Amino acid sequence: MNPDPDIIVKFWGVRGSIPCPGPTTVRYGGNTPSIEVRFPKEGNRLVILDAGSGIRELGLNLMATQLPKGPIQADIFLSHTHWDHIQGFPFFTPIFVPSTTLKVWGARTHDSEGLDQTMGDQMSYRYFPIRGVELAARIEYLHLQEGQVDLGDGIILHTHYLNHPVLCLGYRFEYRGKVLCTSFDTEPYRNLFCTDPNDPDYDAAVAREAESAVREQNEAADRFMTGADLVVYDAQYTQAEYEAGKLGWGHTPMEYACRAGVRNQVKSLALFHHDPLRTDQHLDELALKHCEPGAYGPTEIFFAKEGMSVVI
Amino acid sequence: MAAETEQHGERADQIRDYIDRIPPLSTTVTKVLEVCNRPNTSANDLNKIISFDPVLTGRVLRLINSSFYSLPEQVSSLTRAIIMLGINTVKNLALSTAVARTINAMQSQQLLPSDQFWTHSLTVGLTAKALAARTGVDDRAHDDFFVAGLLHDLGKMPLLQCFAADYASALQTAREQQIPLYRAEEQMFGFHHGWVGQEIGERWKLSSTICECMGGHHDVSKGPRESQGVVATVALANSFACHESIGFAGDSFPDSEQMSQALQFLKLAPADMEQLKQTVQPELEKAQAFIKVL
C-alpha cells in the first residue's frame, strides 16, 4: 500500500450492460459502472467516472461522509450515454441537494443534441417522476472532443475516441507523474471488409485501405494507455465468447486486454465491465487463468470488484 | 441593385437552411433501404451502396469530420469512415437519411431526373478516379478523386429543391442561349451551383480538396495551387461526361474552353479521353447492375 498516494480509485460498479444483483454476484458486485477517483493532495478533489447504478451508493456515501463537512463538488466524466453508464444518475442523491455543484463532461452523442438533453431525457416525466430541469443541484454540462483539457490542480486530461456503437471516450488523467487511464466500452478495431480474394465482393484497394485504417486506430488506442499506472479496461468477454457471436458489440475479449496492458507497459490492469452472466465463481476461475503473476508479463492484472480501492 | 443583392442574400440563407436536409437521390433510396435493413449487412455492400450516392457519401464523411468528432486529420475515404464509425452507426445514418423526403421532390425530379443526375455524378466520380490512375496519382488518393467527382454537382440540389421554378428558367436559358448551365444559374441567382457546393462542403466539414472541387470545377484556374490537379481532373471528368452525354445534370452546352484548359493542365490529349471510356463504361455498368433500378 502506497502511504502517500497521489490518486485513489474506488470501484462502485463494475458490471456491464445491466445491473445483476443476486447470490451469484455478491463478491464482484452487480452494479453497472461508476468509479470514484480522489486526489488527496488537492483537497481530496472528487472525480467520478460514469453514472451507472453504482453511483447510487457512492451518492449515499457522499451524503453521509462529505456533506456534513461542506457542499459536494464533483466532476463527472461519462464514457458514453448508453443506459448502463447513465442509469444511476437520477438516483445520485447529491443532485437533489441545492448546495451541490457538478460538472458533467462527455461527448456530444448526436449532432443536434447536447449532453444535457441526452441526460435530461432519461429524467423526462414518462420515465422518472422528477424532471431534469427541476434538480436542485447546480449542474453544468461540458462537451468533450478528442484532445486535452487542463482540469486545474495540475491534473491534465487526455481524451480518446473508442470503438463502440456510439460516440464513446476513453480518459487518461495525468497528475504528478502518475497516470490513470480508462478504456471502456471498446473493442479492438478489425477489418470489416471482405479480405478473401476468392470472394466475389473482394475489392483489393478497399481491403488494403481498411487494413491500414485498422492498424492505425489500434496503434492509437495502444499509445493512449502507454505507461499508465492503472488502466481500467473493458473485458466483458472471453476470446471464445467474443468470436462466438459478439464481434461488433463494442466490447473487448479479456485476453486482448491483458496482452494490450503488457504490450503498453501498463503497471496495473483492472479488467472491467463484467458480463452480466458472469458469476463470482466464474470470475474466480478466470482470475486463476489470467491474473496469476507473470501470466502475460510484468503487468499486475486483476478483475475489478465493487468496493475495491486502488492507490496510485 | 441593392434589392437584387438582398434577394440573393435571402436565397443564400434559404439554401443554407436546406443544406442539412438534403435527401439522397431517389435512385438509390430503395437499394439503400434494402441493404441497410438486412440484419447482417456486409461492410462491402454498405460501402458500395453509400459510395454510389453523393448525398449519403457526403453525410457519412460529414459525421466523421463534424466538429464534435474533431479528428486531427479530415477523413475523405468512406472505407476508413466505416472502420472508425462501425457498420451499425453508418447503417443507421444511411437509413435515417434515406427516409428523409422533400415536399417538392416530384416537381424537381421532372426538371433533372434523379436517375440521370445520379448517372452523371457517378460517371464523373469514376472518370476522375480513372484519370487519377492515368496521370500517375498515388494509388491511395484514387478514392479521394472518386469522392470529389461524385460530389462535384451536389450544389445543384438545393437550388433545384428551393427554387424549382427559377431553376427551370435557368435550364431553359442554358438550352435556348446554348450556354453552360452555370452561366445561366449566375444570371438567375447571382451565384452558381459551385458556390452552393462549396457551402455544403464547408458546412459538412468535408476535406478542403473536396470543397474546392465542388466550388471550382467550372473555374480551374482559381483556388489554391495544391488542389489544382484534383480540381482540373474533376473539371475534365465533368466535361467528358457532358460531351459523351452519359447521364444528365442539366448541361447540354458545357464550356469547351474549360475542357481544353483542363487537358492542358493535366498534360493530356483528347485521344486519351477516348481510351478512358473503355475503363469507365464497365465500372458504370457494374454500379447500375448493383442498383438495379435503371
Instruction: Show the cell assigned to A24.
Output: 451469484
Split at pLDDT 50, 70, 90, the class of B252 is: confident
Contact B28, B294 (CB under 8 A): no
Contact B164, B105 (CB under 8 A): no
CA–CA distance, B174 with B188 (Å, rounded to integer): 11
Q: What percent of chain A has pLDDT over 90?
A: 84
- Sheet of A300-303: strand order equals A147-150, A156-161, A169-175, A178-183, A230-234, A268-272, A300-303
By the CB < 8 Å criterion, does A196 face chain B? no
Contact B264, B235 (CB under 8 A): no
Closest CA to B53 of B104, B90, B84: B90
A91-119 pLDDT tens trace: 999 999 999 999 999 988 765 678 998 89
* Cβ pair A145:B68 closer than 8 A: yes
Of A161, A165, A213, the CB nearest to B79: A213
Q: Which residue of B has its CA nearest to A108?
A: B68
| Low-confidence winner among A18-27, A256-265, A278-287, B210-219 (lowest mean pLDDT) | B210-219
Q: How many cross-chain Cβ pairs, A to B, lie less than 8 Å apart? A: 75
* Cβ pair B82:A217 closer than 8 A: no
pLDDT beyond 70 at B2: no
User: Model ipTM?
Assistant: 0.80
pLDDT beyond 70 at B40: yes
Q: Which residue of A has its CA nearest to B66?
A: A111
Burial of A143 (0-12, 13-18, 19+ CB in 10 A): middle
Secondary structure letter of residue A190 according to DSSP? -
Place of cell 492515368: B134
By the CB < 8 Å criterion, does A178 face chain B? no
Contact B19, B200 (CB under 8 A): yes
Predicted pLDDT at A110 = 63
pLDDT beyond 80 at A262: yes
Of B70, B72, B83, the CB nearest to A213: B83
Contact B127, B149 (CB under 8 A): yes
A296 Cβ partners below 8 Å, 6+ apart?
A: A258, A259, A261, A262, A290
pLDDT beyond 60 at B102: no
Annotated domain spans of chain A:
8-311
Q: Which residue of A has its CA nearest to B62?
A: A111
pLDDT beyond 60 at B3: no
CATH second-level architecture of A8-311?
Answer: 4-Layer Sandwich (3.60)
How many beta carbons lie within 10 A of that of residue A10, not counting itself?
A: 18
* Cβ pair A209:B140 closer than 8 A: yes
Q: Residue B77: its chain A contacts at CB < 8 A? A: 209, 213
Scan residues 93-152 of A and list those with Cβ closer than 8 Å to B: 107-108, 111, 143, 145-147
* Cβ pair B88:A193 closer than 8 A: no
A266-301 pLDDT tens trace: 999 999 999 999 999 999 999 999 999 999 999 999
Instruction: Quickly list H helices, chain A.
Output: 54-65, 83-86, 115-121, 204-225, 239-243, 254-263, 280-290
| H/E segment holding residue B95 | helix B87-98
Instruction: Specify the CATH number of the domain B105-291.
Output: 1.10.3210.10
Annotated domain spans of chain B:
20-98, 105-291
Min Cα–Cα distance to chain B from A113, Å: 11
> Average pLDDT, whole number, for chain B?
82
| Mutation target vs B (from A189, A206, A208, A247; most B CBs, 10 A cutoff) | A206
Detail the DSSP E strand segments found in B40-106.
Answer: none
A143-151: average pLDDT: 92
Split at pLDDT 50, 70, 90, the class of B13 is: confident
Secondary structure letter of residue A17 according to DSSP? S
Q: Which residue of B has its CA nearest to A113?
A: B68
CA–CA distance, B79 with A212 (Å, rounded to integer): 10
Q: Residue B86: its chain A contacts at CB < 8 A? A: 163-165, 192, 248, 250
CA–CA distance, A119 with A89 (Å, rounded to integer): 8
Q: Residue B47: its chain A contacts at CB < 8 A? A: 193, 206
* Cβ pair A213:B80 closer than 8 A: yes
| H/E segment holding residue B151 | helix B142-151
B225 Cβ partners below 8 Å, 6+ apart?
A: none
